[in-house]
Amino acid sequence: VESRTERVAVARDVSGDTAVIDQIELARDLTLAIEREELFLQYQPKVHLRRQQITSVEALVRWNHPTRGLVLPNDFIPLAEESRDIVALTLWTIRRSIQDQKTLADKGHDLRIFINIAGVLLADKRFVRRACALVESSGARLGFEITETSVIRDPEGAIANLKVFADIGIVIAIDDYGAGLSSLAYLKQLPARELKIDKLFVTQLTSSNRDPLIVRSTIDLAHALEMEVVAEGVETQAAMALLSVMGCDMIQGFLISRPINLDALIHFLEDGKYQ
């Protein structure tokens, strides 16, 4: 495990002192951000291609920083993982998603909400207990998106915790498939119902020779393992048409919608396009 000081040293070499101080400040601010309600969620719909329906949304966290303005997750999730703030952040995300799901249900929209779960949390017994308690006491319909990389350090422990989640009705989705370290041995053992093909293979689907082959064989593999396939990063009609022909089950991407606030999601659901 890389220590914090080592990482800081690396950052200093690469990008100079300002970047390091920046990161330390941001990490310190993050601890307070949750209490100060500076975090908020946006939702991005997934469309089921055959049903032409929105069946679920992914919750994506954003940080409205008092002096820096909008900070995106790639700039603070890694810091949160290192400082352990990821535990509080993710429990907050689960609680907010449960509230928002109730708001949606009151308006007649019954959607599963998927939450990104960092790898470190799959080794954290206290997190697992508290997450399960939130889901069980609310009866919420959630999904957890995890990457295969997060299973590699302690496969037995991580898979056991994923089974605990799956047993209480949380749908497990494998995120960013194909972008990290993939192991068919783990893929077979994970209690996952969805596989999300990384946008790396999707954004250039119709302009590359190889990506369509990779995507098609991934869809076939997932179906053989009885998983539904989500293509993320769908930006064009042409990509959607090709994915549909390939038998992809769901798509997510800017073509359908960018990640949007709850109010905008409600408007989107009510504009009639996917009902």
Query: Which residues of the chain form contacts with ligand C2E (CB under 6 A)?
Result: 44, 60-61, 72-74, 77, 90, 93, 116, 118, 145, 175-176, 199, 203, 232-235, 253-254, 259
- Which tokens in the block code for residue 28? 């310190």
Pairing mode, strands 39-48 and 53-65: antiparallel
- Output the smallest distance, CB 159 to ligand C2E, in A: 19
* One residue of 124, 175, 194, 211 binding Ca ion per CB under 5 A: 175
Nearer to ligand C2E, 23 or 90 (CB): 90
Strand partners, 66: none
What the block records as the tokens of 256 is: 């359908």
Q: In the window 4-43, what residues touch Ca ion (CB under 5 A)?
A: none
Quick one: which of 242, 192, 236, 249 has its CA closest to 214?
242
- Binding at 118: pick from Ca ion, ligand C2E, none (beta carbon under 5-8 Å per type): ligand C2E
Q: Give me the residue whose beta carbon is nearest to ligand C2E.
A: 253
7 Cβ contact partners less than 8 Å away, ≥ 6 residues apart: 82
Residue 73 interacting partner from Ca ion, ligand C2E, none (CB closer than 5 to 8 Å by kind)? ligand C2E
Pick 90 or 218: Cβ nearer ligand C2E: 90
Closer to ligand C2E by CB, 143 or 233: give it.
Answer: 233
Question: In terms of CB distance, is 212 or 233 closer to ligand C2E?
Answer: 233
Per CB under 5 A, which region of 14-22, 77-85, 144-152, 245-253 contacts Ca ion?
Answer: 144-152
Q: Which two tokens stand for residue 140?
A: 């919420």
161 interacts with Ca ion by CB under 5 A: no
Q: Is 176 in the site for Ca ion (CB under 5 A)?
A: yes
Q: At what angle do helices 85-106 and 125-138 cross, to 10 degrees?
A: 10
Q: Give the shortest CB-124-to-ligand C2E separation in angstroms.
A: 12
The 10 Å Cβ neighbour count of residue 38 is 16
Residue type at position 246 = M
142 binds, among Ca ion, ligand C2E, none (CB under 5 to 8 A by kind): none
Which of 147, 194, 188, 138 is CA-nearest to residue 166? 194
Q: Which is nearer to Ca ion, 175 or 249 (CB)?
A: 175
Angle 4-183-198 from CA coordinates, rounded to 5°: 75
Q: Residue 111 carries which DSSP code?
A: -
Q: Which lies closer to ligand C2E via its Cβ, residue 93 or residue 161?
A: 93
Output phi, psi for 60, to 5 deg. Answer: -125, 125
- Give the range of 17-25, 94-102, 108-116, 252-260 binding Ca ion by CB under 5 A: 108-116
DSSP for residue 170: P
DSSP state, residue 210: S
CB nearer to ligand C2E: give 12 or 73. Answer: 73
Shortest distance (Å) from residue 109 CB to Ca ion = 21
Closest approach of Ca ion to the CB of residue 58, in Å? 6
Taking the C-alpha atoms of residue 141 and residue 258, their distance in angstroms, rounded to an integer, is 22
Query: Coil, strand or helix: which one is 42?
Result: strand
Query: Residues in the site for Ca ion, rule: CB under 5 A?
Result: 116, 145, 175-176
